[in-house]
């Protein structure tokens, strides 16, 4: 991600501070951090930058942003460790930003609760589009549904209270996991493709590479007690997508 690609020709006048989305950029490359902040700041985002894990965690506790852009390669602790520490109590979105392009790294980040994962050098417009999609989802009112509760034997889920139970015990779900589980359960018996799921949950098209849905399905299966080798509740339909089964319990 070069200075030219970040700044030219996209910088424009900033919007008033009160209407701007809050972003914390955690990046140890200070010149790069300045360029990213300048670019996003020209597109209605108030960006604060820090350059190490310790400052990131302190800042998130003291001034929680709407989105954290978290570099993996930090000098004191890697971004995965930061994501693992903040995810249980930080309600905002987390975007992992790294030079690593290995699938395993992307899966690790998503498994730890990151909402998105971008590999450097990232196109400025792509970064901006991903951030805006996250902010739109966070700002959108909850969908109005005629039936806000679904009961399927030992499993039940309520959209009004955003709670799910399995055999009477509450499931500990992240916001992203709940949204996916509700979408699958409310379409039980219907195959939903990755494009369907990503479009409804994130407002973007499936690019053929995004592993975030697969990662969340894997986590949901574990929490639902679904065998990874032969899942019953959330089935994979090869070449088509995912199917939430209607079970008697």
The dihedral built from the CA positions of residue 83, 86, 90 and 91, taken in this order, carries a sign that is positive
Residue range 205-215: mean pLDDT, rounded: 70
121 within 8 A of 92, measured Cβ to Cβ: no
Residue range 156-165: mean pLDDT, rounded: 88
pLDDT band for position 77 (cuts 50, 70, 90): very high
Phi first, then psi: what are they for 243, rounded to 5°?
A: -130, 125
Within the chain, strands assigned E span 21-26, 45-50, 67-71, 93-98, 116-119, 149-152, 155-158, 163-166, 169-170, 191-192, 234-237, 241-244
The dihedral built from the CA positions of residue 209, 213, 216 and 220, taken in this order, carries a sign that is negative
* DSSP 8-state assignment for residue 171: P
In this structure, are 237 and 163 located in the same domain?
yes
pLDDT band for position 25 (cuts 50, 70, 90): very high
pLDDT at 40 over 70: yes
Q: Is residue 249, in this structure, part of any structural domain at all?
A: no
84 within 8 A of 110, measured Cβ to Cβ: no
Q: Which residue has the tokens 């506790």?
A: 61
In this structure, are 27 and 104 located in the same domain?
yes
**Could you say which of 139, 170, 195 is where a domain stops?**
139
| Max avg pLDDT among 63-67, 209-213, 227-231 | 63-67
pLDDT at 72 over 60: yes
Q: How far is CA 58 from CA 49, 87, 122, in A?
A: 12, 14, 27
pLDDT at 180 over 80: yes
Total-model pTM: 0.57
Residue range 158-162: mean pLDDT, rounded: 86
pLDDT band for position 60 (cuts 50, 70, 90): very high
Per-residue confidence (pLDDT) for residue 200, from 0 to 100: 82
In this structure, are 32 and 132 located in the same domain?
yes
Q: If you average pLDDT over every residue of the chain, what do you get?
A: 80
Q: Is residue 20, in this structure, part of any structural domain at all?
A: yes
Per-residue confidence (pLDDT) for residue 161, from 0 to 100: 86
In this structure, are 225 and 176 located in the same domain?
yes
Which residues, at least 6 apart from 63, have a Cβ–Cβ distance to it below 8 Å?
22, 48
In this structure, are 21 and 128 located in the same domain?
yes
pLDDT band for position 93 (cuts 50, 70, 90): confident
The residue among 26, 121, 118 whose CA lies nearest residue 71 is 26
In this structure, are 217 and 236 located in the same domain?
yes
pLDDT band for position 61 (cuts 50, 70, 90): very high
Q: Is residue 144, in this structure, part of any structural domain at all?
A: no
Per-residue confidence (pLDDT) for residue 53, from 0 to 100: 95
Q: Can you read off the two tokens belonging to residue 151? A: 């009961």
pLDDT at 8 over 60: no
Domain encompassing residue 206: 149-244
- The CATH number given to whatever domain includes residue 197 is 1.10.10.10
* Termini Cα distance of the chain: 52
Q: Which residue has the tokens 């392009």?
A: 101
Q: What is the DSSP string of 57-120?
A: HHHHHHS--SEEEEES--SSS-HHHHHHHHTTT--SEEEEEES---HHHHHHHHHTT-SEEEES
């Amino acid at each position: 991600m070069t200075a030219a690609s970040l700044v030219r020709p996209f910088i424009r006048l900033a919007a008033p501070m009160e209407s701007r989305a809050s972003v914390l950029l955690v990046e140890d490359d200070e010149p790069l951090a300045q360029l990213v902040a300048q670019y996003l700041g020209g597109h209605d985002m108030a960006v604060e930058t820090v350059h190490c894990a310790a400052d990131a965690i302190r800042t998130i506790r003291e001034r929680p942003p709407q989105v954290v852009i978290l570099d993996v390669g930090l000098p004191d602790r890697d971004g995965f460790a930061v994501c693992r520490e903040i995810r249980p109590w930080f309600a905002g979105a987390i975007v992992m930003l790294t030079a690593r392009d290995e699938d395993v790294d992307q899966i690790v980040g998503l498994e730890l609760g990151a909402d998105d994962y971008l590999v450097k050098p990232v196109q400025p417009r792509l970064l901006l589009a991903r951030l805006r999609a996250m902010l739109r989802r966070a700002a959108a009112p909850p969908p109005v549904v005629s039936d806000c509760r679904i009961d399927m034997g030992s499993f039940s889920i309520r959209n009004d209270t955003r709670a799910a139970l399995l055999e009477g015990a509450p499931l500990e779900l992240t916001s992203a996991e709940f949204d996916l589980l509700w979408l699958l359960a409310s379409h039980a018996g219907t195959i939903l493709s990755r494009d369907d799921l990503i479009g409804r949950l994130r407002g973007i098209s499936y690019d053929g590479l995004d592993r975030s849905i697969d990662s969340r399905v894997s986590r949901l299966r574990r929490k639902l007690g679904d065998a990874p080798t032969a899942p019953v509740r959330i089935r994979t339909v090869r070449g088509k997508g995912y199917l939430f089964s209607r079970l008697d319990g």
